[in-house]
Structure 1
Amino acid sequence: MQIVSQATTISKGATKLEKTLSKPRIDEWTELRGLAFLAIVLQHSIGEYIYRPDIERPDSVMLGIIYHLTRFGTPTYVFLSAALLFYNFKSRPAAEDARLLGKRFGDIYVPFMIWTAIYWIVARSWSEIPLTAPGWWQSLLREMVIPVSGYHLWFVVMIFQFYILFPLLGRAWSRVKPFFLTENGTGNAVRTGIMLGVAGAAYAVLMHWSYYDMSGWQSGLPRLLQFLLEHRTYIFVMYFFYFVLGAVCASMIRSWREFARRALPWNAVVFLLLFTMMGYMLLQQSGDAINLNISTYLKPSTFLLILSQMLLLYGLLLRPHSAAVPGRFRRMLAWMGKYSFGAYLCHALLLYGVAYFTRSFPLQNLHLAAAGASFVIVACAALALSRLLSLLPGGHWIVGASGQRRRKDASSGGKSQPLRERTASDLN
């Protein structure tokens, strides 16, 4: 009995020590998440105004150019989701993986289902379609797989595929990861560079096929393949390079940070060149009306712009005492990152509300200003609503569990807590 008691004490002590030695929180990830949220709200605000028939050419051109500054938003969410999962990955029994997947379903997919139903109800109400019209339940179930009423909710469908497959992907990466690490745990620059170069080239080819070729592949294919090609933006494979990049960042955080710092000068020049090129292509290919689909995520040139901008912002966030990123602004970004998942879910509904009033206003030569004002209003309101809903009993079913978890961390005395296993509700 004494031996059993001692063994239990040792086991508890080891568990406590393991928690104490958990990996530290990566502050720039939360701040980058806040920037990504702002980019997505600005992107959707621009989309609301740039296609209005009364917009003048100067406003249309300026909105199109600014639009390229927002392209990093959603891919950065993918990158951060992968980074945090790989950062905390530990090989577990299948039963434990199933339990974590169920928890992620509650943290991610249940809020998605609630907001999908809300957007579906609002869309049918505005279209004056009775909620119980024939086929209503088939329509609602279809929204749970291919959301249309909530146009931004496709991201949750896509990223959840990654969560389902992550136990397999995590084990595969843990086997190959030592090949890319040196003896002291830093990244092997040559091997990692070759691996990322090959993966990036393969992804660029995939983006070329997606943008230029895949729409012509559908004829003659089985119906399932036609469906997958038509809805390829919902498939996580179409974003695989950002997952690979997240795995590299998480596994070699010191080397990644050093690379992001050193890349700042030349990457700033690369970003400016790509930004200028993308603006020129948009104006050249749009004709009289600006067509934002020219700058879709799934296009090689957009991929390069996103990659450069993501690395540029990461490097800037590593300079906490620079004038480029003031401390107060960093704290604001961190706060936004805490509640960004719930804000992401609800922001499109708030934008609908703003647009409901602005569509009746004469906005001649004011579309640029209206898009900017809508962006500020919607971003602030969405974050406030996410924070408010997180305070309600059961609020995690609506906006995810991230806000509540962080409040528990804060109640522990203000000390930095170990980085726990988190889900996309912490990231988006």
Structure 2
Amino acid sequence: MGKPRIEEWTQLRGLAFLAIVMQHSIAEYIYRADIESADSIMLTMIYHFTRFGTPTFVFLSAVLMFYHYGGKIRYGSFLRKRLGDVYVPFLIWTVIYWLYVRVFTPGFWQKGGQDFGSLLKEMFLPQTGYQLWFILMILQFYIFFPVLAGIVRYVRKRLDVLSERARSRSVVAIVAGTGLMYMGMLYISYHQMGAWSSRLGSPWSELIQYRSYSFMMYGFYFVVGAIWAANIEKCRAWCIKLLPWSGLVFIGMYIRLGYDVLQGSGEVVNLNISTYLKPSTFLIIVAQILLLYGLLLMMKGRSASFLRLLGWIGKYSFGGYLVHALVIYCIAFFTRPLTLTGSHLPVTLLTFFLTAAASLGISYTLSRLPGARWIVGAKRRAPKQAESEAEFRGKAAMY
């Protein structure tokens, strides 16, 4: 019968996509010289509502992989499919971003001005398509996934012989232990690795400088994804039970994170203070993912139109993710020459809405074309649609 489609995962992916678009829209305006302090503070407050975006993509990538490919897999065919769905679109969009930034530079058309060496560098360290670093990071997870899946299968076999209560305690211990080790790694990354980078020579300094590109720096989300995929109903129940607590933790860390950024910034707000690789940011991200997941579950049957919209956004979010920075570049072509004093907040919100709508529209259109897999990672739908979770349960009840 195959596995059912878990609707809240697609809806959560839709929210994560919107959060990432908002982050990058804010980054386009918050560092401008003519911004007023009121706009800076308001944009910082909105920014900290969106920190869950990229880590949520990591978590969902992990939970989907373990959900669908948790058993033994053929490494060759598995990796070819992943490269086709993810890496080929990365290569295509890397070239598109590289060309877009350079074709408007007069020196590009001069003899020798093309600088194709910089294009090769973009394949490993994306700069013009700044959001594409995520593809390189998640690709590492795909490469090592068969090994990780084997470890998960081994742990599950050891847990299956335990009683229900002992198994639940063991899972909680694994999550807690992994979380503590992960926070320790984040503490070292945030407070010490910067000094290491300045002392060490190449290539170690470069590896530390670009540590956010390593999938190991997001290891906690992969572990939780594996556990979530194997215990969907229990995780759902826990999300709902923890709603009051996850909400309180989120509010507390939201205040703390905003205070840290405003206190640590000078005349210009420094959003890098709340990087993903900071222990306090990690806490607000985990709390917000649990909070949003629980709220999505609570909304089932009550806000059908809104959830359908989120599901649609989530369905085309990968293509939207690939293209959205290009849309922001196009908008910035018109806004950067303007003086926006006192208007950075409304212009940022307008940019967000235009970018989200245009990116999803482009993703939807491209997904309808032949060869869409190579452009936006989407295949054209076969006549028979995938089963929903309700349909799957209805069929299962017949056996």
- Cα distance change, pair 317–178 in 1 and its aligned pair in 2 (3 A): farther
Match of 1:15 in 2: none
Query: What's the secondary structure of 2:293's corresponding residue?
Result: helix
Report if the CA contact (8 A) 1:187-1:255 is conserved: no
Report if the CA contact (8 A) 2:5-2:387 is conserved: no
- How many Å separate the matches in 2 of 1:332 and 1:184? 41
Deviates more, 1:203-212 or 1:129-138: 129-138
Match of 1:236 in 2: 215
Report if the CA contact (8 A) 2:6-2:388 is conserved: no
Match of 1:109 in 2: 87
Q: What are the within-5 Å matches in structure 2 for residues 299-310 of structure 1?
A: 299-310=278-289
Match of 1:16 in 2: none
Report if the CA contact (8 A) 2:30-2:40 is conserved: yes
1:32 is matched with which residue: 3, 9, 12?
12
Say if 2:25 is the partner of 1:45. yes
Say if 2:362 is the partner of 1:385. yes
Structure 1 counterpart of 2:69, which letter?
F
- How many Å separate the matches in 1 of 2:10 and 2:70? 22
- How many Å separate the matches in 2 of 1:124 and 1:343? 22
Say if 2:295 is the partner of 1:286. no
Unaligned runs of 5+ in 2: 393-399
**1:151 Cα shift?**
0.7
Query: What's the secondary structure of 2:108's corresponding residue?
Result: coil
**1:361 Cα shift?**
2.3
Say if 2:118 is the partner of 1:139. yes
- How many Å separate the matches in 1 of 2:189 and 2:56? 20
Say if 2:177 is the partner of 1:198. yes
Match of 2:371 in 1: 394
Structure 1 counterpart of 2:310, which letter?
L
Report if the CA contact (8 A) 2:107-2:113 is conserved: no
Query: What's the secondary structure of 1:329's corresponding residue?
Result: helix
- How many Å separate the matches in 1 of 2:166 and 2:350? 44
- How many Å separate the matches in 2 of 1:413 and 1:198? 40
Say if 2:388 is the partner of 1:416. yes
Cα shift readout 1:245-302 (whole Å, capped 9, x = no counterpart): 1111111111111110100012111111111111111111113221101111110110
- Cα distance change, pair 335–187 in 1 and its aligned pair in 2 (3 A): farther
Q: TM-score, normalised by structure 1?
A: 0.86
- How many Å separate the matches in 1 of 2:245 and 2:283? 14
Query: What's the secondary structure of 1:287's corresponding residue?
Result: coil
1:371 is matched with which residue: 329, 333, 348?
348
Match of 2:337 in 1: 360
- Cα distance change, pair 385–172 in 1 and its aligned pair in 2 (3 A): same
Deviates more, 1:376-385 or 1:22-31: 22-31
Structure 1 counterpart of 2:63, which letter?
A
Report if the CA contact (8 A) 1:186-1:252 is conserved: no
Cα shift readout 1:113-148 (whole Å, capped 9, x = no counterpart): 000001111122234342673683322111111111
- Cα distance change, pair 75–119 in 1 and its aligned pair in 2 (3 A): same
Match of 1:64 in 2: 44
Match of 2:193 in 1: 214
Query: What's the secondary structure of 1:267's corresponding residue?
Result: helix
- Cα distance change, pair 168–413 in 1 and its aligned pair in 2 (3 A): closer
- Cα distance change, pair 223–173 in 1 and its aligned pair in 2 (3 A): same
Q: What are the within-5 Å matches in structure 2 for residues 305-384 of structure 1?
A: 305-321=284-300, 326-384=303-361
Cα shift readout 1:366-396 (whole Å, capped 9, x = no counterpart): 1000000000000000000001011111122
**1:186 Cα shift?**
9.2
**1:183 Cα shift?**
6.7
Report if the CA contact (8 A) 1:186-1:255 is conserved: no
Report if the CA contact (8 A) 1:185-1:252 is conserved: no
Query: What's the secondary structure of 1:217's corresponding residue?
Result: helix
Deviates more, 1:193-202 or 1:46-55: 193-202
Q: TM-score, normalised by structure 2?
A: 0.92
Report if the CA contact (8 A) 1:84-1:250 is conserved: yes
Say if 2:54 is the partner of 1:81. no
Match of 1:422 in 2: none
Cα shift readout 1:211-245 (whole Å, capped 9, x = no counterpart): 11101113554523222111101111011011111
Cα shift readout 1:335-393 (whole Å, capped 9, x = no counterpart): 01111111100000000111111112221211000000000000000000001011111
Deviates more, 1:26-35 or 1:388-397: 388-397
When the two chains are superposed, the root-mean-square deviation of aligned CA atoms in Å is 2.1
- How many Å separate the matches in 2 of 1:244 and 1:180? 15
Unaligned runs of 5+ in 1: 1-19, 420-428
Structure 1 counterpart of 2:362, which letter?
L
The percent of aligned pairs where both chains have the same amino acid is 48
Report if the CA contact (8 A) 1:271-1:309 is conserved: yes
- Cα distance change, pair 51–220 in 1 and its aligned pair in 2 (3 A): closer
Match of 2:205 in 1: 226
- How many Å separate the matches in 2 of 1:186 and 1:328? 39
Match of 1:122 in 2: 100
**1:182 Cα shift?**
7.5
**1:184 Cα shift?**
8.7
